[in-house]
Chain A
Amino acid sequence: EPEVTQTPSHQVTQMGQEVILRCVPISNHLYFYWYRQILGQKVEFLVSFYNNEISEKSEIFDDQFSVERPDGSNFTLKIRSTKLEDSAMYFCASSEFVQANQPQHFGDGTRLSIL
Chain B
Amino acid sequence: AQKVTQAQTEISVVEKEDVTLDCVYETRDTTYYLFWYKQPPSGELVFLIRRNSFDEQNEISGRYSWNFQKSTSSFNFTITASQVVDSAVYFCALRNQAGTALIFGKGTTLSVSS
Q: Give the interface of A toward B (CB within 8 A).
A: 31, 33, 35, 41-45, 48, 55-56, 58, 89, 91, 93, 98, 100-101, 103-109, 111
Contacts and interface: CB of A to CB of B under 8 A. Distances in A.
14 contacts: A33-B101, A35-B102, A43-B91, A43-B93, A45-B101, A48-B100, A100-B95, A101-B33, A101-B52, A106-B37, A106-B45, A106-B47, A109-B43, A109-B45
A45 B43 contact: no
B4 to A, nearest CB: 9
Given A100-B33, A106-B44, A108-B42, A42 B100 contact: no
Contacts of A55: 100
A95 to B, nearest CB: 9
Interface of B: 31-33, 35, 37, 42-47, 50, 52, 91, 93, 95-107
Interface of A is mostly: strand
Contacts of A91: 45
A58 B106 CA distance: 17
B104 A44 contact: yes
A107 B102 CA distance: 15
